[in-house]
Amino acid sequence: MTTKLLLTFAICRLIVTVGLTVDPSELLRLGVEGQLSVDPCDVETASLDFGLISRSEPMAVLHPGSADDIARLVQAAYLSSQGFTVSARGHGHSINGQAQTSNGVVIEMSGRSRGSRLGPGNLAKPQVAVKEMHVDVWGGELWIDVLRSTLEHGLAPKSWTDYLYLSVGGTLSNGGISGQAFNHGPQISNVYELDVVTGKGELMTCSEEQNSKLFHAVLGGLGQFGIITRARIALEPAPQRVRWIRVLYSNFSTFTRDQEHLISLHGEPSTLKFDYVEGFVIVDEGLINNWRSSFFSPRNPVKISSVGANGGVLYCLEITKNYDESTGDTIDQEVEALMKSLNFIPSTVFTTDLPYIDFLDRVHKAELKLRAKDLWEVPHPWLNLFVPKSRIADLDRGVFKGILGNNKTSGPILIYPMNKNKPARIDKSFSLLLTGTQFNDGSDRRSGRFSCQAIFSMGSPMRRWWDQRSSVVTPDEEVFYLVALLRSALDNGEETQSLEYLTDQNREILSFCDDAGINVKQYLPHYTTREEWMDHFGDKWDQFYQRKMEFDPRRILATGQRIFNPSSASAGTVSPCLGPVIVDRTVIPIPLSGAYYDELTAGSSHIQPSSLAHPPDPAMATPFLTSFQWFYSLASSIEISEASFHRSGLSESRFC
């Protein structure tokens, strides 16, 4: 019975055509405030991304004039009888075509217009609420513009990425990390509220208190559940200047021990901790003085051989201390006290002071230099990994000192730890609750209430920095590392810097981790099979899948991630069937829509028995079927595992 049912599914899927085609002229009749374009230049731009590894040409490009434009487009896709997909593109900084689509429309979120539910005037700048310490921004706003707007009020967001020319919606859909994450958590932990267009075309406001399931799904959700059109970001007083320090290590254990010590100080007063902790690996002498490391003086270049590198590898600790002009007289003492606890090579201390905005925008300055040399718009086969603390030394031996060896490297290799489950400060709404003076019994206990107020300051919501309710996946350890190989493929005749070589080396690194049992998780993940995605999400897969079916049931959004395949059947329509099919002398109608197959095989590791106790009456078989209840009842006495499906030789990728 099981084999026959599997063959029935296979025959069904083999004759399904999931190719979604829509005449672009149909899209032009949507009637949007912005511009829906089929201009070849717009289409070409949307076909590429920063990675320059894949290319996928959309049917049209939307430059939205408002959040309603986006909702109108997505709703049209959701209700379309033929169907088309929708992908939101920020600054185009994805690596493997995650924001691309070939059967739909790309929304240029960071293009010419700034849509809005931000207030009067659809092109409003970020709106800063000084008293409330937050800023409302368009989802396509670049972080550099958010910074400039908030600095006008002496404020700034708490958590950053190293590169600021990324969209707010883009980083919140992935996590948003940098050297401040140990102190404030990732960017997704510093959001109060979102406006989101779901895969049904519904424009919804969500937060910890309102539509919380959607709120947590979207944060780190890889664009699968909705398009962020507005975000309310937490702010703090902005420092004026930064003391930027780099020191070198030749011993990996000493290097990581010092990094882990520094991030453990996150709960200390600001005078007793650094504000930013990162680091990078130096596997060749060219890298130590490259674009990322231009901090070191070119008049006094650092040589690996001069500092006794162990195995030809050095490690650089990068730390900063924020300060104001008014506290400038104490910064030297504070830094000196913190440095005394570290065990770096004494002769390798490099220090500079600069304005706060210049430090945050440091990578853009390097970008301008690379653009001048035609070295920016090249393929970027980047690989970003979250590595458990317990296995970081194994990765050092196998990758930094093994696979990478002393090969010349065309880009930085970042490495720094983050805390996973440290609770943030109490939310201001909770703080207000504590400041009331009257209990339900009518008694007045002012002293106790003010005692609580003194302990719990107004701040970010009381949830973990890496909240398990979000869609982000991290290793199952309290502390984990980011290891980011940010390499560029260069056409300079050197094999070790070619795209093919670097791509193969990335695969070798992933294979090494798999063989060594190092349970890494990709950050900015890229997989090509359902099995790989299920392995990536692990225990979160069922929740991720259920959220997808709730908020984007036709799998319209962000198909470039290659997690789900779009459904061709429109919402609320009857699914066409492959006539009546006979299975063990029972006539059963088989729906052709790929949605039902995915519902059966992708939602869990096997088909769960239905709550219906009896199989369908053959007399009820019709050429059309609107749900898979009958199949569930038919499967009440069997389990069809994905393993047996794949062993049958019927590759899922051929059918979905």
Q: Which two tokens stand for residue 166?
A: 């990324």
Q: How far apart are CA 61 and CA 36, in angstroms?
A: 6
- Reply yes or no on whether 278 is catalytic: yes
Query: CA nearest 319: which of 238, 244, 418, 415?
Result: 244
Whether pLDDT at 604 is above 90: no
Report CA-CA distances (Å) from 217 to 105, 268, 549, 550: 23, 32, 12, 11
Report CA-CA distances (Å) from 271 to 146, 262, 265: 27, 13, 11
Decide the pairing of beta strands 479-485 and 383-388.
Answer: antiparallel
Higher pLDDT among residues 625 and 221, named by residue: 221
Decide the pairing of beta strands 203-207 and 226-237.
Answer: unpaired
What pLDDT, on a 0 to 100 scale, did the predictor assign at position 429? 37
Phi-psi region of 374 (alpha: psi -120 to 50; beta: other; left: phi over 0): left
From 278, 361, 427, 598, the catalytic residue: 278
pLDDT in tens, 465-523: 899 999 999 999 999 999 999 999 999 888 999 999 999 999 999 999 999 999 999 99
Phi, psi of 115 (to 5 degrees): -70, 175
Q: How confident is residue 111, by pLDDT bands cut at 50, 70 and 90?
A: low
Burial-class residue 470 by CB neighbours within 10 Å (0-12, 13-18, 19+).
buried
What pLDDT, on a 0 to 100 scale, did the predictor assign at position 307? 60
pLDDT in tens, 235-278: 999 999 999 999 999 999 999 999 999 999 999 999 999 999 99
- Reply yes or no on whether 444 is catalytic: no
Can you tell me whether residue 227 is helix, strand or coil?
strand
CA contacts within 13 A on the Cβ side of 367? 10
What is the average pLDDT across 352-367? Answer: 96
The DSSP code for 610 is: P
The DSSP code for 107 is: E
pLDDT in tens, 232-242: 999 999 999 99
Question: To which H or E segment does residue 511 belong?
Answer: helix 499-516
Give the chain's radius of gyration (CA, Å).
27
Average pLDDT, rounded, for the chain: 79
The count of residues in the chain is 656
What is the pTM (predicted TM-score) of this model? 0.78
Decide the pairing of beta strands 276-282 and 104-108.
Answer: unpaired
Whether pLDDT at 444 is above 90: no
Residue with tokens 């002398």: 585
Burial-class residue 270 by CB neighbours within 10 Å (0-12, 13-18, 19+).
middle
- Reply yes or no on whether 209 is catalytic: no
What pLDDT, on a 0 to 100 scale, did the predictor assign at position 120? 35
Instruction: Decide if 580 contacts 588 (C-beta within 8 A).
Output: yes
- Of 21-35, 85-99, 297-311, the range with the highest mean pLDDT is 85-99
Q: How confident is residue 306, by pLDDT bands cut at 50, 70 and 90?
A: low
Q: How confident is residue 283, by pLDDT bands cut at 50, 70 and 90?
A: confident
Query: CA nearest 472: which of 249, 185, 273, 218?
Result: 218
Q: How confident is residue 134, by pLDDT bands cut at 50, 70 and 90?
A: very high
Phi, psi of 462 (to 5 degrees): -80, 80
Whether pLDDT at 449 is above 80: no
pLDDT in tens, 71-103: 999 999 999 887 799 999 999 999 999 999 988
Can you tell me whether residue 485 is helix, strand or coil?
strand
